Amino acid sequence: MTVAVVPTVRIQAADFDVAAEISLLTRGRPDIGAVVTFTGLCRDEAGSLAALELEHYPGMAEAEIMRIAGEAIERWPLAGITAIHRFGKVRPGENIVLVVAASKHRQAAFEAANFLMDYLKSRAPFWKKEHRVDGSEGGWVDAKESDSAAAQRWAKS
């Protein structure tokens, strides 16, 4: 019997509990042999950053992340996949993003988590604005060419 995999995608202001999310994905699933997680945290940028403000288009962001999570399910034999991205002001040391990929075997889980994270860093509809410790706004953060290059390796031929 094949169980249909339905991705979990949430965009929320509140923090998340990594262990609780892993438990939700794996509870009652003895077929899962590997779980790979990635948690992205807000950096302090050498002490200059007070907060990172994340904005998104509600509805559109969830749909796009759901689409790419669905693509991961098509590419790898996954037992489950979760993506959680925060919005609002996030302070240094706080969680920003969580990706959890579960499979029978580790390679599929590693690749799917990497694929989804590369997408989130390069193409997900989020905008980041820096707020400095000195009270000034650091402006909007530009996308990094290295993130786009990393995502390019997943392009279908």
Tokens of 153: 């390796």
Confidence of residue 38 (pLDDT cuts 50, 70, 90): very high
Confidence of residue 1 (pLDDT cuts 50, 70, 90): very low
pTM, to two decimals: 0.90
The Cα–Cα gap between 113 and 78 comes to: 10
Q: Is 110 helix (H, G, I), strand (E, B) or coil?
A: helix
Per-residue pLDDT reduced to its tens digit, 70-112: 999 999 999 999 999 999 999 999 999 999 999 999 999 999 9
Tokens of 115: 């694929």
Per-residue pLDDT reduced to its tens digit, 138-150: 888 877 676 667 6
Looking at residue 124, the DSSP 8-state letter turns out to be S
Exposed / middle / buried, residue 92 (Cβ in 10 Å: 0-12, 13-18, 19+): middle
Tokens of 143: 């996308």
